[in-house]
Structure 1
Amino acid sequence: MVLNTNSRNCSVWMWSSIQKNELEFRILNINVPNSFTKKRFNGRETLIWKDLWLDNQLLCERFGRLFRLDANEDSTLAERMTITEKDMWTLTLQNNGCFSSSALNKIRNEHLLPPPINRSPTMRNNALPQKIGVFIWRAHMGRLPIRVELDKRGTDLDWVLCALCKNEIETGDRVLRSCTFAKDIWKRVLSWWKNNSQMYSSVADMFRGMKDNQASNEFLKIWQTIEWVVGYSLWKKRNSKLFRRNMLIAPVVFNEIQSTNYQWILNRSKKLDLDWNQWLLNPDVYDDHG
């Protein structure tokens, strides 16, 4: 989209549309305001001294002495010369010179986001709300607003240590898997499911499912539900401690995970008839293989 500047309001809209993200662009060494130039046609909306329209340099800076001598510093090109066509803005960051919000977003994302490799569709589990599937996908793709990632993007943070344990730099893997608090929760969950041999090497591995080819499909779905709720719960608890200063007690968090999984599976699964006592004492009874 090329912006025709039929009025000064159009220029105001253009600058306001990028103003809130200008700091982020500057952190990336991209000077967006200076990347716009006026392509003059009729000259009515182009200030001869103060708009960038010739040789990528403001004439008020290039010819400072003449500018100070001019009685009308805000004069337009149309007042000094005869031009017939309309003015428009061009964006030098684009090869075609066209400005659009999507073009700026694309430029920003190319600098901020990792290369789009191994991109997978949003994950789904019918036993859980869709928001949890979106969360798991973001964790799997490394797109959570973790402190170390926010710091890379120029966010001013007081510290970047893990919000759960405050021992090491906060990463997605740290919060969801390797933090001492996260390890405690996973140890309790695996012991509950008598699955002490399950080992995770990464967040992606954690949400890939149980490594037991003999387990039934229904059992694997239940276990996936458990894994996803554990990850989502750890993230929510991280946020509650970070923003609300809530105290985290591992047995309480573990009990909440048991209850949440039970309620969601019971209410959303048409095939399973769960018993609460059985769920607490021996949940792997729902594996019908063998």
Structure 2
Amino acid sequence: MCPFCDEAEESVEHLFTACVVVVRVWTAFSVWCNISPLILFDFKDILEIHKFIKRSKKEEKIIHGLAMIASWCIWKERNEVVFSQKRCNPQDIIGEMKSRGFAWMKNRASCKYISWTEWCKYPLYML
């Protein structure tokens, strides 16, 4: 069973797109990135999130990167629940996603002088 909701059999599709916990994460992701609510059916939809938004190439690249980071954070939380008996908290996943995304942008992108406070409000503010 899904380690987050215990309501359905665990599968890639359920864990990353259909679980009620993960739907909350993707809803927060959409609000944070100021994009339309995401309707995800399988993992491929996550890989192609940037193709469904009509933004500049740079914005699409950042959103794609953030979607990959969000997926990693979901997987990491899943493993902590399964192997360390941690209680799942969508806010932990969202916080981890923002933190890792900030580190990625600050260290890998051309935006060296980004503000944590502004980042937490809207990750594309510097464009």
Q: 33, 43, 59: which one pairs with 1:193?
A: 33
Q: Give the CA RMSD over aligned residues.
A: 1.5
For 1:234, the aligned partner's letter is I
| 8 Å Cα contact 2:16-2:71 kept in structure 1 | yes
For 1:245, the aligned partner's letter is Q
Alignment pair present for 1:275 and 2:115: yes
Query: What's the offset of the Cα at 1:212?
Result: 2.2
Alignment pair present for 1:258 and 2:110: no
Q: 194, 212, 215: which one pairs with 2:53?
A: 212
Q: Which runs of 5+ in 2 are unaligned?
A: none
Q: 80, 83, 89: which one pairs with 1:243?
A: 83
- Give the structure 2 partner of residue 14 of structure 1: none
The structure whose Rg is larger is: 1
| 8 Å Cα contact 2:27-2:37 kept in structure 1 | no
Which structure has the highest helix share of the two? 2
Output the CA distance in 2 between the equivalents of 1:284 and 1:261.
Answer: 11
The TM-score, its normalising length taken from structure 1, stands at 0.41
Query: What's the offset of the Cα at 1:225?
Result: 1.1
The TM-score, its normalising length taken from structure 2, stands at 0.89
Runs of 4+ in 1 over 4 A off after TM superposition: none
For 1:194, the aligned partner's letter is N
Query: What's the offset of the Cα at 1:181?
Result: 0.9
Output the CA distance in 2 between the equivalents of 1:283 and 1:261.
Answer: 9
Query: What's the offset of the Cα at 1:188?
Result: 1.1
Query: What's the offset of the Cα at 1:198?
Result: 3.1
SS at match of 2:100: helix
Q: What do the CA deviations read for 1:137-158 (whole angstroms, capped 9, x no partner)?
A: xxxxxxxxxxxxxxxxxxxxxx
Q: 10, 17, 21: which one pairs with 1:181?
A: 21
Q: 53, 57, 61: which one pairs with 1:221?
A: 61
Output the CA distance in 1 between the equivalents of 2:49 and 2:71.
Answer: 13
SS at match of 2:40: coil
Q: Which runs of 5+ in 1 are unaligned?
A: 1-160
Output the CA distance in 1 between the equivalents of 2:81 and 2:89.
Answer: 11
Query: What's the offset of the Cα at 1:196?
Result: 3.3
The count of aligned residue pairs is 125
SS at match of 1:283: coil
Output the CA distance in 2 between the equivalents of 1:164 and 1:198.
Answer: 20
Query: What's the offset of the Cα at 1:245?
Result: 0.3
Correspondence 1:14-25 to 2 at 5 A: none
For 1:257, the aligned partner's letter is M
| 8 Å Cα contact 2:26-2:38 kept in structure 1 | no
Larger RCO, structures 1/2 (Cα 8 Å, 6+ apart): 2
